A and B are shown apart, each in its own frame.
Chain A
């Protein structure tokens, strides 16, 4: 196993497909439906090393989740965050990176795209 990954998306189909990709790369996958659930899960699992984060979700959106975890100082080891979203514009990307996202994937995604982003971040996975 290469560690814990959180897949945060309100669409079940994305949680399943992205979860399946991350499992095939030998990560332990935790799934959340919105930013609030993701915050709660992160408190329970402070060893999550990577969050695959949708932007538009009910209750708490991905951007607000990102801002709030980057403001926390109790998590000395911050997880890396890859936005995985339909927000496919340069201003959105700039906003997310400025708030502390490490990488950005515009939907639709495939396994090659995800692997190449993990390579960029130096995150090890099952080859």
Chain B
């Protein structure tokens, strides 16, 4: 890929989704966008960049953002957030909050995290699952469609999923596995851009959230965008609400304040002051 086209794509992805592609990571574009180049019958990545330059908001531009931001994920990834949900967050929310409990999977990709949350809730609060509302958001339309279908391949359902829960919450059709309606119906999916100034307004109908999962997402944003994302999340939460980040991610906002809550050898975060 030629330098000007690479520079344009870096700038385009940063503007469109807050995604930072480092100068040394041209290969990322090559591996993730090659299929699109082929599907659209384009000569190479340069031709793809030139096409996006002409139409920054078209279908192809959306597909590029999709391909660059969709990350492969697995059920119950890292396990400890789901243990902390069961042992710390849900008990506290049920004690403090007689009404609904609102949980947000803020970069839900193809849905595994949101559904892992739903299964954890169903296991921990069997009678009270109807009180819990879970929403999954992502910037990628394609990922959202797959998430909403609740359908996974035999390989996907075996990554991170305990066999006991697979038996309990899935229906099998050959090599395809579908979540049962009792889990699917606990989760709604919608499009949202975490760096958009309109995020709080977009999420108002679903919040304010008691618990937010936003894991392994901040690392992809530039430093300024990270501050914005954290403040944006805080605007959608209630004070005292929990934030779950990736192990190495510390929430720092410009206008929000957080404190850490140690759980085992990891940290959860609580919102002390809203922006």
Binding site for B on A (CB under 8 A): 88-90, 93-94, 97, 101, 103-106, 108-110, 112-113, 116-117, 119-120
Contacts and interface: CB of A to CB of B under 8 A. Distances in A.
- Ranked nearest first, the 5 interchain pairs of A and B with the lowest CB-CB distance are A104-B163, A116-B160, A113-B158, A116-B159, A120-B162
Nearest to A91: B167
Contacts, number: 39
A18 to B, nearest CB: 14
A94, A103, A110, A120 pick with most chain B CB within 10 angstroms: A120
Contact of A88 (B79, B154, B164): B154
A103 B163 contact: yes
Interface string B153-187: 01100111011101100001001000000000000
Contact of A116 (B74, B166, B175): B74
A113 B163 contact: no
A2 B270 CA distance: 37
B172 to A, nearest CB: 6
20 contacts: A88-B154, A89-B172, A90-B167, A90-B172, A94-B167, A97-B163, A97-B164, A101-B163, A105-B158, A106-B154, A106-B158, A109-B158, A116-B159, A116-B160, A117-B158, A119-B79, A119-B160, A120-B76, A120-B79, A120-B160
A90 B172 CA distance: 7
A34 to B, nearest CB: 23
A103 B160 CA distance: 11
Contacts of B167: 90, 93-94, 97
B172 A112 contact: no
A88 B175 CA distance: 8
A11 B216 CA distance: 40
A12 to B, nearest CB: 23
Contacts of A89: 172
Given A93-B166, A97-B167, A113 B159 contact: yes
Contacts of B74: 112, 116
Interface string B15-58: 00000000000000000000000000000000000000000000
A120 B79 CA distance: 8
A104 to B, nearest CB: 4
Contacts of A103: 162-163
Contacts of A120: 76, 79, 160, 162
Contacts of B172: 89-90
Nearest to A104: B163
Contacts of A94: 167
Residue among A89, A104, A113 facing the most chain B CB atoms (10 A cut-off): A113
Contact of B155 (A93, A113, A117): A113
Contacts of A112: 74, 159
A106 B159 CA distance: 11
